[in-house]
Structure 1
Amino acid sequence: MALLSDLERLTGEVNRLVERATVNSCSIARLATRINEINSELVKDDSMRRVLTLDEAESHQKALREFHSLLEGAKDYLTIFSQDIHNVAPILGRENAKSDFDAFGDRLRRLLPSLLLALSDEQKTRIVEEFSETKMKKEDEEDARADLGDVGNTPVMPGGIEGQQAGGGNVLASEYRNPVCAAQDTTPSISLEELNFNPLPENEITGSERSELGSVYKGAFRNTPGPLAIKKLHVPDGGPHYDRQDSQTSAMDLRREAEVLMKFQSENVVRVFGICTDPGNYLLVMEYAQLGTLRDVLQDKKYDLPWARRVRMGLEGARGLYTLHYGKTSMLHCDVNTRKFLVDGDMHVKLTGFGLATTRSSARKLGRSSRKGRPSSTRHTVKFVAPERISDINTPYDDRAESYSFGIVLSEIASREPPFEGMNESDIAEFVKAGRIQDLPTDCPAKFRLVIDACRALNPALRPLSAEITDGLQDAFIQSVSMARDAS
């Protein structure tokens, strides 16, 4: 009951912030409406409610706690829009605002099944229809257009987080220039004739990961604007090196990776257009990230990455991971490192490299970072491996192990240096098993440091899950925006 009372309090605070908003009034009001609708069902005194089993009750309580965390994050975030927006707009950027509102809506939709377990089927059906992905996307688009055309909104100057590439804008909610397609359960097949594709060295994407399994090239597909990334597996069809079983297995792996990507389409997951399995050409056609991998960007000193930008990168990476962990088919990535996140021309971060992704139940059976004896597309070094799995590689892989890997990603974002630089794998293993962690920059924002250290905890039970990481980084981003505003 105490938790429900606190949810009521937080919902009230969100509603009061709606009245004080100086910009994005439609998007903010929509978020509050959705929160109110869910909260009203949770606190309603209804004799029709089902009695939950022990497992259902545990799932429901977990969802309530996450809803509480989400409300706290929403309250803190909306506070930004009740302040002098001229101080915030050049730092926040309109694309960031749009993706933030989308992320809150997506979290609410994914929480619904567990939050509403006690409701009757009829009640559930009504609310699920209200929160359908199609309906929410349509509403969000309408709100974005209304916010841009609302003369009541305080005008703001264009701008983005310092260090952002061209493509920023004012803080009003607006759509990304390349809308993400809706999640699908089937993967479109693409014939080689539909592609403008030539796997020559000069077409290979600089900074992309070459491996024993494949390379990535620039190409084009039909009338899709701009270049695309086309991953080609190194599997010959015919000739002295042809292995029919290996070829078929590679084709299945490629299709599987594409199917995983199609299920988890979001702004922070690389978009996939389809696959080609023509003889000699096993291709995965994907969105092209102009700046390359996250590691490439972090190490390239030509990019000015103030704390607001770095925290934002971590937040967007966490959202990509959350999408995977909390999707309709919940999965684990199993190969999280800074080369598995790509950065587009506007410095937005997107999760990729789903070749090893698997369901939680399958992950528990995994030992080394491989699936059915097939190697990872990159050698997942000990740098990103959780301490418990360094001690015993047969320790089941789970969310907490993935949180540790992401914690190392976050520490690399903070320091802009590869983790454990200058240490061999044996030294790293001893260092990590002893419960030691690498130092972060002294000026690292406190809330960012808090999330990073929590993810790197020696005890897996103390590490946050991706939902909690996302909330923590949202809070850290708000802090970094405030720091940048105060310094300006």
Structure 2
Amino acid sequence: MSFRTDIERLTGEVNRLAQRATVNKSSIARLAARINMINSVLVKDDSMRIVLTPDEAESHQKALREFHSLLEGAKDYLTIFSQDIQNVAPILGGENAKCDFDAFGDRLRRLLPRLVLTLRDEQKTGIVEEFSEAKMKKEDEEDAGADQDDAPVVPGEVEGQQPGGGNVVASEYGRPVCAAQDNPPMISMGELEFSPIPENEITGSERSELGSVYRGAYMNTPVAIKKLHVPDGGTHYDQQESQKSAKDLRKEAEVLMKFQSENVVRLLGICTDPGNYLLVMECADLGTLRDVLQDETYALPWDRRVRMGLEGARGLYTLHHGKTAMLHCDVNTRKFLVDRNMHVKLTGFGLTTTRSSARKHGRTSRRGRPSSTRHTVTFVAPERMGNINTPYDDRAESYSFGIVLLEIACRRPPFKDMGESAIAEFVKAGKTEDVPADCPAKFRHVIDACRAFDPALRPLSAEIADGLQDAFIQSVSMASS
């Protein structure tokens, strides 16, 4: 069977499954329609196609392989939705499904320019317009609304997860949120309710070099409040340091405001009252990703763990592909928070910078020391082990995220019984820790790819997110079979 014939076969299976869907019918129909549109231009008469350069031909063939992989994932994913609603709902909540369908659409939109390389310009126009980002976003919102209106009530459905519970259905309704904008809203101390924790009671997950995080309330809603460590007045007062910290606070807030998404922690506003430099953010009740992974009272089957990795990757992808593309520069399991519905959100943007700045200056902390000295060398890429001034780039960030994925798979900190020097030598020698034997194959593949010794072989955040979506579909299919 030829590659193109197999694409035809998979497209037909997607269409049959779309007709059998029991939930999310509008989103599923849209996905099938978009796949049909792309398939229709792939099967045109070869005599109508233009001749490609060798590089273009290789890019086109790679896109076809990626489209084939997407079709296999879509087939497996839609198979889940053809099951009884009682089996579907515990695994895929409404918000989860919307993110998944959005991701399929995003993958198709990114593939399209390479898939239509063989078409003449007049043949491309119509389909390119159909896959414009603005048009797709509008359609996706309409479909999600229609699916929500038609969603059946599932007996026994409970929102939120208690220790030892299974998967959950997400909901963001009723929370104060901020639309993406350039200037963060100002909040006064009088609008906040929180009690600072004595310094000797602040744990590692709540305190960093730059600030401490407290629980509080804003607009009668639980929030997280990050306070910078800046004395304002008194013996240790430093006006220059205070002004610099206020500037740093605004910088971190501005980064948060530009990247509003389901998998990036939401900023509600900032406070710059004297002595109180605060970031007010949505509350992630369960703490850091590391906290949750190490808490054995939480049931984390493979489909849940792969989902956590996928949501983390989507947060990183949002940062890397915003209007101002940026690098996080401090990726580790304490920089991802987990909310009460077990959803993962990227946070900790104190070191975030643009790609050009990262390449020019490497990765250093606000205090002038390499950030790896604060978080050990655990998440540092091998090429930066010997020289921390090696330019920091997307591939180095992919390695750090690969270690995050390894920790998710193992549910324990990487290199647990090794000191920093031993870790550095281990990694520089091209060695990697083992992934659990029962780890789903596609999840294992992404983890290993991210940890490749050669930076050029590591996937970028878009490829990581795509691979983890396929891994999630595999793990859900295994869980529901």
Structure-1-length-normalised TM-score: 0.82
Residue 460 of structure 1 aligns with which residue?
A: 455
Residues 368/325 of structure 1: CA separation in 2 closer, same or farther (3 Å cut): closer
Amino acid at match of 1:367: G
Whether the aligned pair in 2 keeps the contact of 1:163 and 1:305 (CA below 8 Å) is: no
Q: What displacement does 1:256 show?
A: 1.2
Tell me whether 1:208 sits opposite 2:205 in the alignment.
Answer: yes
Task: Give yes or no for contact 2:363–2:370 (8 Å, CA) kept in 1.
Answer: no
Which shifted more, 333-342 or 77-86? 77-86
SS of equivalent residue, structure 1 residue 413: helix
**In the alignment, which of 185, 192, 196 is matched to residue 195 of structure 1?**
192
- Would you say 1:91 and 2:86 are equivalent positions? no
Alignment of 1:9-24 (within 5 A): 13-24=13-24
2:77 match: 77
* Contact residue 85 and residue 156 of structure 1 kept, 8 A: no
> Which letter does structure 2 place at the counterpart of 1:315?
L
Once the two structures are superposed, the pairs formed by residues 50-65 of structure 1 within 5 Å of their partners are none
Query: Aligned ranges for residues 250-289 of structure 1 at < 5 Å?
Result: 250-289=245-284
Describe the SS at the equivalent of 2:213.
Answer: strand
Deviation at 1:25, TM superposition (A): 1.0
Q: Does 1:248 align with 2:243?
A: yes
Letter in 2 for 1:100: D
Any idea what SS the aligned residue of 1:393 has? coil
Displacement of 1:89 in angstroms is 3.8
Residue aligned with 1:283, SS: strand
Report the counterpart of residue 230 of structure 1 in structure 2.
225
Most deviating of 33-42 and 315-324: 33-42
Shift of 1:424: 1.1
Distance 2:5 2:352 in 1: 39
Conserved in 2, the CA contact under 8 Å of 1:164 and 1:346?
no
By how many angstroms is 1:140 displaced? 4.1
Match of 1:139 in 2: 142
Secondary structure at the aligned position of 1:276 is classed as strand
- Structure 1 counterpart of 2:150, one-letter code: D
The counterpart of 1:365, out of the listed 355, 360, 368, is: 360
Moved more, 311-320 or 86-95: 86-95
When residues 111 and 216 of structure 1 are mapped into structure 2, their CA distance, relative to the original with a 3 A threshold, is: farther
- How many angstroms apart in 2 are the aligned matches of 1:186 and 1:388? 37
Instruction: Label 1:159 to 1:44 Cα distance change in 2 as closer, same or farther (>3 A).
Output: farther
Q: Which residue of 1 aligns with 2:389?
A: 394
Separation in 2, partners of 1:338, 1:231: 18
Supply the distance in 2 between the matched residues of 1:42 and 1:188 (Cα, whole angstroms): 48
Whether 1:295 and 2:286 are equivalent positions in the alignment is: no
Q: Contact (CA 8 Å) 2:326, 2:353: kept in 1 or not?
A: yes
More displaced 10-residue stretch of structure 1: 251-260 or 374-383: 374-383
Give the distance between the partners of 1:292 and 1:323, measured in 2 at CA.
Answer: 21
Residues 110-189 of structure 1 aligned to structure 2 (within 5 Å)? 128=132, 130-131=134-135, 133=137, 135-136=138-139, 138-148=141-151, 158=157, 165=165, 168-169=168-169, 175-177=171-173, 181-189=178-186
Over 3 Å counting, the alpha-carbon distance change for 1:122 and 1:162 in structure 2 is same
RMSD of aligned alpha carbons: 4.0
Residues 454 and 464 of structure 1 are in contact (CA less than 8 Å); yes or no, is this contact kept in structure 2? yes
Query: Alignment partner of 2:361: what SS?
Result: coil
- Choose 411-420 or 176-185, whichever is displaced more: 176-185
3-state SS of paired residue (1:417): coil
Taking a change above 3 Å as real, the CA distance of residues 348 and 94 of structure 1, as seen in their structure-2 partners, is: same
Rounded to whole Å, the distance in 2 between the matches of 1:434 and 1:356 is 28
Paired residues of 2:337 and 2:346 also in contact (CA < 8 A): yes
Query: Which stretch shows the higher mean deviation, 405-414 or 393-402?
Result: 393-402
2:350 aligned partner: 355
Partners of 1:203 and 1:217 within 8 A in 2: no
Summarize the Cα distance change of 1:485–1:68 in structure 2 as closer, same or farther, 3 Å threshold: closer
Aligned residues: 471
Q: Distance in 2 between matches of 1:138 and 1:202?
A: 46
Among residues 474, 480, 483, which one is paired with 2:475 in the alignment?
A: 480
- On the 8 A contact 1:207/1:296 being kept in 2, the answer is no
Q: Aligned pair in 2 of structure 1 residues 96, 138: CA closer, same or farther (>3 Å)? A: closer
**Hey, what's the Cα distance between the residues in 2 that align with 1:112 and 1:178?**
37
Q: How far does the alpha carbon of each residue in 1:449-478 deviate from its partner, in whole angstroms, 9 at most, with x for none? A: 121111111111211112222222222222
1 CA distance for matches of 2:298 and 2:217? Answer: 28
Match of 1:449 in 2: 444
Structure 1: stretches of 5+ with no match in the other structure: 46-51
- Give SS of 1:219's match: strand
How many percent identity over aligned positions? Answer: 74
Tell me by how many angstroms 1:485 deviates. Answer: 2.7
